[in-house]
Amino acid sequence: MTFSEHDHVLVTGCAGFIGMHVVERLCGNGVRVTGIDNFDPYYSVALKDARVARLTALPRFSLRRLDLADAEAARELFRDGGFTQVVHLAAQPGVRYSLEHPETYLRNNVTAFGHVLEGCRHHGVRHLVYASSSSVYGANHTLPFSEDQPTDHPVSLYAATKKANELMAHSYSHLFKLPTTGLRFFTVYGPWGRPDMSPMLFADAILAGRPIKVFNHGKMRRDYTFIDDIVEGIVRVAGRLPDADPVTGAPYAIYNIGGNSAVALETFIDTLSRALGKEVIRDYQPMQPGDVVATYADVSRLEKVTGFVPQTPLEEGVKRFVEWYVAWRETQ
């Protein structure tokens, strides 16, 4: 199954970092897209507005401001939408924020996802693709992370809500034969990224001559994944129905999407410093609650099914991020 001009795709969280790029890609392929977002002020609404301003000029795109945790609003959306596929990217992000605002994660990541599942079930959606996270691997220390590894020990509430999404999706795939595919994203970065994530936090501090906070005294590794690779993976997966789960026979799948390497945090900082042309002042800090020391994606399952492996080199990805960020910063 591939997308056609007759498809109508719902992209939730369209004002978000990944959502904006997915909408641009789908519309560029001639697909009709409805995007929804509640423009939550967790981070700069001005940035979200700027992303959406890019989207509203696209042919075959329409925007709705809507809160998926509102049951009646979600029912109306699906009743009237006529969606053929759903790419569900709306969620409350951030590991550390979940330590202080747990109710936000339960509302936006669990309740809202339940409403999406119900909408897909009752209104003929052919395929639901949703964002999970590498954080579900939690206390697992076997690298690289494989989808076959257990994910029973989340170390943050954010991770637990993403694991809950995977379990909820499987139950709907099993009970109602709703095809669902979960995507475990690994440290996504690039133009139009989130201001609460390290690339933008670091870049802002470096350009301002402020120290950057380097947690776990720099002894961290992350599988940095450029946004274009994430979008390519999403679109390829969304255009293909999942195979039957080998245990239950449900039309259900889970895939890692990562850069397929574990990059030392110090290496990422040095790469960013070179791209910015500025020295870095490091403020080494202890490990933060809810964090993990390393992430590293095994993407062999994704490659087998889609023929795609994320491949943007870190140097190129950071360069493209910096070009965007420097220009964006000058407008603020």
CA–CA separation, 109 and 98 (whole Å): 11
And the tokens for 325? 């960020």
And the tokens for 113? 């996802």
Give every CB contact of residue 272 below 8 A, 6+ residues apart in sequence: 199, 202, 203, 206, 280, 318, 322
CA–CA separation, 255 and 310 (whole Å): 13
Helix axes 17-28, 227-238, angle to 10 degrees: 60
And the tokens for 124? 């003929």
Q: 43, 97, 137, 158: which one is catalytic?
A: 158
202 sits in which H/E element: helix 198-208
Cis peptide before 251 (omega within 30 of 0): no
Active-site residue, 158 included: yes
Which residues in the chain belong to E strands, given as ranges? Answer: 8-12, 32-37, 61-65, 85-88, 127-133, 180-185, 188-189, 212-214, 221-222, 225-226, 252-257, 263-264, 282-284
Measuring CA to CA, how many Å separate 97 from each of 3, 31, 38, 291? 36, 35, 18, 12
CA–CA separation, 240 and 74 (whole Å): 25
DSSP conformational letter for 190:
S
Helix axes 112-122, 71-81, angle to 10 degrees: 30
- The catalytic site residues sit at 158
